[in-house]
Chains A and B, each alone.
Chain A
Amino acid sequence: MAGGGIGVEYSLRGLPRMLPGLILCVVFGWLALQWDSNISNWNRDAKESEKILKSWTEGKPVLAYDEYVQKAKEGFAKKEAEFKEQKAEYDAHVAALPPGGQPALKEPKKPSKPHPLKQADYEELTQGKAVAGKLAFGQRMIEFQLTYVAVLLLGGMLIRNTVGVPAVFQVGTLAARPLIKPGIIILGAYYMWSHVLKVGVIGMVLVIAFVMGTAVLVSLWGRRAKVDDGLTGVMGAGVGVCGVSAAVAVAPVVNAKPRDFFYAIGTILLFGTLALFTFPYIGQALGMSEPVFGAWVGTSILNTAQLVAAATWYGHESLLTANIINIVRVAFIPLVVLWAIYYYVVKPAVAAGGEAEKVNAWQVIRDKFPIFIFGFFAMVTLNEMGVFTEEQTKILAGDLLKLFFAVGFAGVGLNIAFDDLRKAGGTAFMIGFASAGLKAILAAVVVIALGTEVFAVR
């Protein structure tokens, strides 16, 4: 995976070196989640305050706090009773359907539990007739999408490039990044196979068209511009498929020099970092729905950690779509390596009248396949079999997912070093950056045209 552990190997022997940085990421992640929890609660309370203010302007009476809470409870009990009735009607309707029949009724939605204001906030509202300052602040932070994802990425980057991260924490912060992967795996508890196939099939078409297309485009353009094969090969794999991992996989095939490799990595990191911080705002400006945005970042951002961060930043539905497309994308790494072997080794050898090296395709696929995605498929299968209750799904794909992502994003933010980004340069940088940018623009047009329904997981 991109964002994976280049230079970090998980082993018990290496644990003492990793521990300080891992602890730093856990603490940083916890602080960001604490912030997130506060602004979410304040945002919810601000909305409740606005609802109450509206009812007062419509002439409804100002209730005492106890009466207000009681009314909220009664309102919920009524809605719940209505839901149970509608649900029973819906279930009976579905049970009576012939095999393969489509229900004519819409499945009712469970009402959400009421969250009445705290007494102090309610009293402040009744006295000031305006939303309390801290609640309005929370609402503003949510509007600006300054959730835990932004705090960890922006804050981490700021720390790394100002005060710096002491060497003792370095290995651990790198080792924290792959903790996004268990989050990706347990998110599988949220999907049914029908969801995975629905988005996965269209995701595969997008991956073949855009992701593989970019790898091919960079290589052809690089040859035309007479850029070294090693550099364009690494760059093509990197900007096309999966950032650093694909670049590392292709490097020996194309005979890349260390300089080529670092140029390519610099370009990949620079594009990914810019995309991570700008795409959520571009998506909002273009009015992209969450599933459409998920499809866009799944196709355009080159690196799993950055892609997952951008999608999470935008919203949960965006993450659900982006996750499936990412799974499809990383599964393509071995195929890109095979293509690089053909384009840079076999084809030139045959053209020169020589004998092509024999390539064991199965060996390449077996060696380069990212096996963690089997965990995701196992989770989807368990969910399909009904192993998880609704509550367990919420714990896995909601609460625990956030914990893993928070620690992983802390590692991502603390490793965005401007010095690494400066390593990008030269003609190959221009080709790689332009191709990645072009892919992002074309992908945006296509996913917007296809629309929300195509990419919505539920």
Chain B
Amino acid sequence: MTEEFEKKATETFSAERKEDIFVLIVAAVVVALVLAGAIGKDFYKSLFF
């Protein structure tokens, strides 16, 4: 196995793991806001003309 690619693959998967953790946090925050009622049914409509 080439060291260069092994390093690159490890880095990429470490970045993708961080990315997955980031999106899990974003999704959790959004769900919490909806459950708490901070994002309601009129939120989306209010964004457009």
Binding site for B on A (CB under 8 A): 1, 4-11, 30, 33-34, 37, 178-179, 181-182, 185-186, 189, 245, 248-249, 251-253, 255-258, 261, 367-368, 370-372, 374-375, 379, 382, 387-388, 391-392, 394-396, 398-400, 402-403
Contact = CB atoms under 8 A, between A and B. Distances in A.
A99 to B, nearest CB: 32
A403 B44 contact: yes
A373 B20 CA distance: 9
B42 to A, nearest CB: 10
A379 B47 CA distance: 25
Given A9-B18, A252-B1, A371-B17, A34 B41 contact: no
Given A379-B31, A399-B43, A400-B34, A249 B13 contact: yes
18 contacts: A8-B15, A10-B15, A11-B18, A37-B48, A182-B27, A182-B30, A185-B23, A185-B24, A186-B30, A186-B31, A257-B2, A258-B5, A367-B13, A392-B34, A395-B43, A396-B31, A399-B44, A403-B47
B31 A372 contact: no
Given A368-B13, A400-B34, A10 B39 contact: no
B34 A251 contact: no
B39 to A, nearest CB: 6
Nearest to B4: A258
A186 B18 contact: no
A221 B31 CA distance: 47
B48 to A, nearest CB: 5
Contact of A5 (B1, B4, B16, B30): B16
Given A253-B1, A394-B41, A372 B24 contact: yes
A400 B39 contact: yes
B5 A251 contact: yes
Contacts of A402: 44
CB-CB nearest 9 A-B residue pairs: A399-B44, A181-B23, A185-B27, A252-B6, A372-B20, A182-B27, A10-B22, A252-B5, A9-B15
A227 to B, nearest CB: 18
Given A5-B16, A186-B27, A249-B13, A395 B39 contact: yes
Contacts of B17: 371
Chain B interface residue bracket vs A:
20 to 34
Interface in B19-43: 19-24, 26-28, 30-31, 34-35, 39-41, 43
- In this complex, which of A4, A34, A249, A399 has the most chain B Cβ atoms within 10 angstroms of its Cβ? A399
A112 to B, nearest CB: 15
Contact of A248 (B12, B39, B40, B49): B12
B9 A391 contact: no
B21 A5 contact: no
Nearest to B23: A181
B44 A10 contact: no
A261 B12 CA distance: 14
Nearest to A35: B48
A5 B11 CA distance: 11
A249 B9 CA distance: 6
A257 B12 CA distance: 16
Contacts of A395: 34, 39-41, 43-44
A260 to B, nearest CB: 10
A234 B28 CA distance: 34
A337 to B, nearest CB: 10
B22 to A, nearest CB: 4
Contacts of B15: 5-10
Contacts of A388: 34-35
Contacts of B20: 181, 370-372
A248 B9 contact: yes
A400 B12 CA distance: 28
Nearest to B18: A10
